[in-house]
């Protein structure tokens, strides 16, 4: 029997490289499985040696935010630079806006080929309704400014919630005006059918 090697041939990896995040998105597993149960969020900052080992095999890294935000890894700029110098694709998912402006500029310059995906769920001034603690305006301005340094267009990732479902067209227009890619996503992290953040039937794709 011929073995299917597709899984073993994959060279893209989706990882959390740390355990920190400054946001408190209510449906994130940080809150649901740990913080609200009085438990410490598990994990640690991946070491550079571990990162070198991983990238000796995987050539495209999705720095994802399942349980943390990659910008809070203390060596994230060094990691970005390493990816750039070693031709490893870097895809960065960022929603936490705590890092200062100068840190972002340094990060963009460290790897101009990185693809940045900014999680801003709604118009910048309302995104914090789900992304608790986020300064949506600051992150939006950084996303637009990143175009000066990045060779790939940044992505505005917009999760649809009941508080932002009527602003999708306005957001699309802003994205067009400011020259960033707009990506709408449907969340699957609902607490129940009656989760107060759920979009109305018209905008809830799981109901289609």
Question: Whole-angstrom Cα distance, residue 182 to residue 65?
Answer: 19
Dmax (CA) for the chain in angstroms is 57
Q: Is 89 in the site for ligand SF4 (CB under 6 A)?
A: no
**Least separation, in Å, of the C-beta of 76 and ligand SF4?**
14
Q: Of 67, 182, 199, which is closest to residue 130 (Cα–Cα)? A: 199
Q: Which is nearer to ligand SF4, 23 or 80 (CB)?
A: 23
Computed over its alpha carbons, how large is the radius of gyration of the chain?
Answer: 18
Q: Is 92 in the site for ligand SF4 (CB under 6 A)?
A: no
- 106-165: which residues touch ligand SF4 (CB under 6 A)? none
Q: Which is nearer to ligand SF4, 96 or 111 (CB)?
A: 96
Member of 17, 23, 71, 160 binding ligand SF4 (CB under 6 A): 23
Q: Is 73 in the site for ligand SF4 (CB under 6 A)?
A: no
Q: Which is nearer to ligand SF4, 25 or 155 (CB)?
A: 25
Q: Is 30 in the site for ligand SF4 (CB under 6 A)?
A: yes
Q: Is 21 in the site for ligand SF4 (CB under 6 A)?
A: yes
Runs of H (alpha helix) within 56-132: 76-85, 101-110
Question: Whole-angstrom Cα distance, residue 172 to residue 21?
Answer: 27
**Least separation, in Å, of the C-beta of 4 and ligand SF4?**
33
Question: Whole-angstrom Cα distance, residue 48 to residue 124?
Answer: 34
**Least separation, in Å, of the C-beta of 115 and ligand SF4?**
17
Sign of CA dihedral 94, 62, 90, 61: positive
**Least separation, in Å, of the C-beta of 17 and ligand SF4?**
12
Q: Of 98, 49, 90, 108, which is closest to residue 72 (Cα–Cα)? A: 98
Stretch that binds ligand SF4, among 67-75, 84-92, 99-107, 159-167 (CB under 6 A): 67-75
Q: Is 28 in the site for ligand SF4 (CB under 6 A)?
A: yes
Q: Which is nearer to ligand SF4, 159 or 180 (CB)?
A: 159
Asked if residue 92 lies in contact with residue 65, where contact means CB atoms within 8 angstroms, the answer is no
Q: Is 55 in the site for ligand SF4 (CB under 6 A)?
A: no
Q: Of 65, 85, 83, which is closest to residue 25 (Cα–Cα)? A: 65
């Amino acid at each position: 029997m011929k073995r299917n090697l597709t899984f073993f041939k994959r060279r893209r990896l989706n990882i959390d490289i740390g355990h920190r995040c400054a946001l408190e998105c209510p449906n994130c597993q940080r809150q649901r499985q740990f913080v609200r149960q009085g438990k410490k969020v598990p994990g640690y900052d991946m070491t550079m040696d571990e990162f070198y080992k991983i990238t000796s095999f995987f050539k495209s890294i999705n720095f994802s935010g399942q349980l943390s935000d990659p910008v809070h890894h203390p060596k994230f700029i060094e990691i970005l630079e390493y990816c750039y110098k070693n031709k490893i694709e870097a895809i960065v998912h960022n929603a936490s806006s705590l890092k200062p402006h100068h840190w972002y500029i340094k990060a963009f310059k460290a790897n101009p080929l990185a693809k940045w995906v900014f999680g801003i769920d709604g118009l910048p001034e309302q995104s914090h309704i789900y992304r608790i603690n986020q300064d949506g305006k600051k992150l939006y301005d950084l996303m637009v400014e990143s175009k000066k340094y990045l060779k790939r267009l940044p992505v505005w990732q917009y999760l649809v919630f009941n508080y932002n479902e009527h602003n999708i067209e306005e957001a699309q227009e802003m994205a067009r005006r400011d020259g960033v890619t707009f990506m709408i996503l449907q969340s699957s992290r609902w607490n129940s059918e009656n989760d107060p953040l759920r979009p109305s039937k018209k905008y809830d794709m799981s109901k289609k």
